[in-house]
């Protein structure tokens, strides 16, 4: 039995065992030092084999990974090494799992907060609404504008239409969950310095359209649920993140 | 400096949370991660998803990486392979397999060197070692590693007894290990 198991070290190292056999081998592995060494050496060998199959990934992948790295905290050594980093799942988790960078941007938030966004509300002055509406129409009609769509954690979806210069964007949200009386949606422009508030969003029956001014260097657009009145920097995990294409 | 050594040097900085070190690590290892995922999964979109998951996990779990238990390259490629293979064998496996088999004719032939590989001296050395294997050793190792087949599947496809495939896989990997001078 033992020698039979031992013979499976290679197949195990190549992930060529089915789940049942793999589990059986792992049990054996725990008590077999020779096998552990074998597996380690074979894993090293297999890894080098991968060098014969190099392929440059799309540039968008680099942007997406590095943007998320800036927003994601590292696990402690104790955390589950096998934990799946499922982005959708991560976004629903609350607490310190997401590190919104602060720093220089935090100061800028106080200036920028509330200035950059125009939402459609009945109370809004008609001429302002008209101006924003015209700008949004122009954005939507611009063939050079980029369109990115993302689901909102908890329900609904958002679409970001960014101007060719990425200095302005229209954010359209649909079917957003209603926030509590003490909460608001807050929009953020994120760059390598951190997150800058670009305004609050008050959906009317779950729908909202906002015109947002994006500071230069913005790489990602985000939305979080914040205490009413907004926060100088995000205090919860984003419910939506949209990478701006370069 | 070889990729293995380079990654091992970068890992402690990545574990400290240094974004710049991670960006360097990304540039060094992403072609291997994406390349392997693409080989196993065939579809670029699927490979991109796996590559993203793996690379984010590298960042997240950097502090739990233990250099005493192997190289960073082995750690990262093991994750990549495991995840790619899990996907291939997942629920949609049946129809997906058919698709993969159907697209096999478009695969790069074994002896055709891609441009990326040509630029990579390390890869050349690996290829030389792969070429030294017997045909059945090479087939059983590469079908498991690059196609994601289990060893019974390899045996069925090569119409060779299970025990033989198990042994050839082992012999093949050991020969590769010795040829490459890989140590744990």
| Burial class of residue B106 in the structure, from the number of CB atoms within 10 Å of its CB (0-12 exposed, 13-18 middle, 19+ buried) | exposed
The class that CATH gives domain B1-105 is: mainly alpha
Chain A segment 105-144 residues within 8 A of B by beta carbon are: none
B98-154 per-position pLDDT tens digit: 455 444 434 444 333 443 444 467 788 899 999 999 999 999 999 999 999 999 999
| Burial class of residue B71 in the structure, from the number of CB atoms within 10 Å of its CB (0-12 exposed, 13-18 middle, 19+ buried) | buried
Say if B40 is an interface residue toward chain A (CB within 8 Å). no
**Any idea what DSSP says for residue B119?**
T
Domain A2-53 in CATH 1.10.357? The answer is no
CA pair distance B114, B108, nearest whole angstrom: 8
ipTM: 0.86
In percent, the amount of chain B with pLDDT more than 70 equals 83
Q: In what order do the strands lie in the sheet with A168-174?
A: A117-119, A208-213, A168-174, A157-162, A146-151
Q: How many other C-beta atoms are found inside a 10 Å radius of the C-beta of residue A122?
A: 6
Q: Give the confidence band of B93 by pLDDT, cuts at 50, 70, 90.
A: low
When scoring B36, B69, B110, B139 by the number of chain A Cβ atoms within 10 A, the one with the most, hence best to mutate, is B36
**Average pLDDT score, chain B:** 85
Q: How many other C-beta atoms are found inside a 10 Å radius of the C-beta of residue A189?
A: 29
The alpha-carbon gap from B74 to the nearest alpha carbon of chain A, in Å, equals 5
Decide: helix, strand or coil at residue A45.
helix
The alpha-carbon gap from B109 to the nearest alpha carbon of chain A, in Å, equals 12
Chain A segment 10-49 residues within 8 A of B by beta carbon are: 10-11, 13-18, 37, 40-49
Say if the Cβ atoms of B74 and A43 lie within 8 Å. yes
CA pair distance A10, B168, nearest whole angstrom: 9
Chain B residues with beta carbon closer than 8 angstroms to that of A192: 19
Domain boundaries, chain A: 2-53, 87-243
Chain A residues with beta carbon closer than 8 angstroms to that of B31: 54-57
**Res A111 pLDDT > 70:** no
Say if A51 is an interface residue toward chain B (CB within 8 Å). yes
B67: nearest CA partner in chain A = A40
In angstroms, what is the C-alpha Rg of chain B?
17
Chain A residues with beta carbon closer than 8 angstroms to that of B5: none
Query: Greatest CA span in chain B, whole angstroms?
Result: 51
Q: What per-residue string of b and e applies to A26-65 under the rule 16 or more CB within 10 Å gives b? A: eebbeebeebeebbbbbbbbbbbbbbbbbbebeeebbbbb
For B108-184, CATH number? 1.10.10.10
- Retrieve residue A75's tokens: 């696990």
| Burial class of residue A158 in the structure, from the number of CB atoms within 10 Å of its CB (0-12 exposed, 13-18 middle, 19+ buried) | buried
Token pair 């074994």 is at which residue?
Answer: B110
Phi-psi region of B152 (alpha: psi -120 to 50; beta: other; left: phi over 0): alpha
- Retrieve residue B47's tokens: 């490979």
The alpha-carbon gap from A20 to the nearest alpha carbon of chain B, in Å, equals 12
Q: How many other C-beta atoms are found inside a 10 Å radius of the C-beta of residue A20?
A: 8
**Res B92 pLDDT > 50:** no
- Retrieve residue A68's tokens: 């998320």
Task: Let me know: does A155 contact A177? Beta carbons within 8 Å.
Answer: yes
A3-45 per-position pLDDT tens digit: 678 889 999 999 999 989 999 999 999 989 899 999 999 999 9
The alpha-carbon gap from B15 to the nearest alpha carbon of chain A, in Å, equals 8
- Retrieve residue A118's tokens: 């125009």
């Amino acid at each position: 039995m033992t020698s039979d198991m031992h013979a499976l070290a290679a197949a195990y190292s190549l992930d060529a065992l089915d789940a049942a056999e793999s589990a059986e081998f792992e049990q054996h592995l725990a008590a077999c030092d020779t096998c552990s060494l074998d597996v380690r050496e074979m894993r090293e060998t297999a890894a080098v084999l991968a060098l014969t199959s190099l392929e440059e990934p799309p540039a968008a992948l680099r942007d997406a990974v590095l943007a998320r790295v800036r927003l994601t905290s590292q696990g402690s050594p104790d955390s589950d090494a096998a934990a799946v980093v499922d982005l959708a799942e991560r976004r629903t988790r609350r607490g310190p799992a997401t590190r919104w960078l602060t720093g220089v941007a935090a100061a800028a938030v106080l200036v920028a907060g509330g200035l950059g966004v125009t939402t459609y509300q009945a109370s809004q002055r008609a001429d302002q609404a008209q101006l924003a509406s015209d700008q949004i129409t122009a954005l939507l009609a611009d063939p050079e504008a980029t369109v990115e769509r993302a689901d909102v954690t908890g329900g609904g979806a958002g679409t970001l239409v960014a101007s060719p210069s990425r200095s302005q964007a229209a954010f359209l949200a649909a079917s957003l969950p209603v926030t509590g009386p003490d909460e608001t949606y807050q929009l953020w422009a994120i760059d390598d310095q951190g997150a800058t508030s670009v305004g609050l969003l008050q959906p009317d029956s779950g729908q909202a359209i906002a015109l947002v001014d994006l500071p230069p260097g913005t790489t990602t657009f985000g939305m979080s649920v914040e205490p009413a009145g907004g926060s100088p920097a995000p205090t919860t995990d984003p419910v939506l993140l949209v990478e701006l294409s370069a | 400096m070889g990729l293995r050594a380079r990654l091992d040097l970068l890992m402690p900085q990545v574990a400290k949370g240094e974004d710049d070190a991670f960006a360097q690590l990304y540039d060094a290892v992403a072609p291997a991660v994406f390349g392997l995922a693409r080989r196993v999964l065939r579809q670029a979109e699927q490979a991109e998803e796996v590559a993203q998951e793996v690379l984010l996990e590298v960042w997240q779990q950097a502090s739990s990486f233990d250099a005493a238990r192997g190289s960073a390259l082995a750690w990262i490629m093991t994750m990549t392979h495991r995840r790619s293979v899990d996907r291939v064998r997942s629920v949609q496996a049946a129809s997906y397999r058919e698709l993969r088999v159907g697209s096999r004719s478009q695969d790069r032939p074994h002896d055709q060197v891609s441009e990326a590989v040509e630029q990579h001296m390390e890869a050349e050395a690996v290829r030389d070692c792969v070429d030294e294997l017997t045909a059945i050793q090479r087939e059983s190792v590469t079908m498991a590693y690059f196609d994601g087949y289990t060893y019974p599947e390899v045996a069925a496809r090569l119409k060779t007894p299970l025990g033989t495939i198990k042994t050839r896989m082992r012999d093949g990997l050991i020969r590769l290990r010795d040829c490459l001078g890989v140590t744990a």
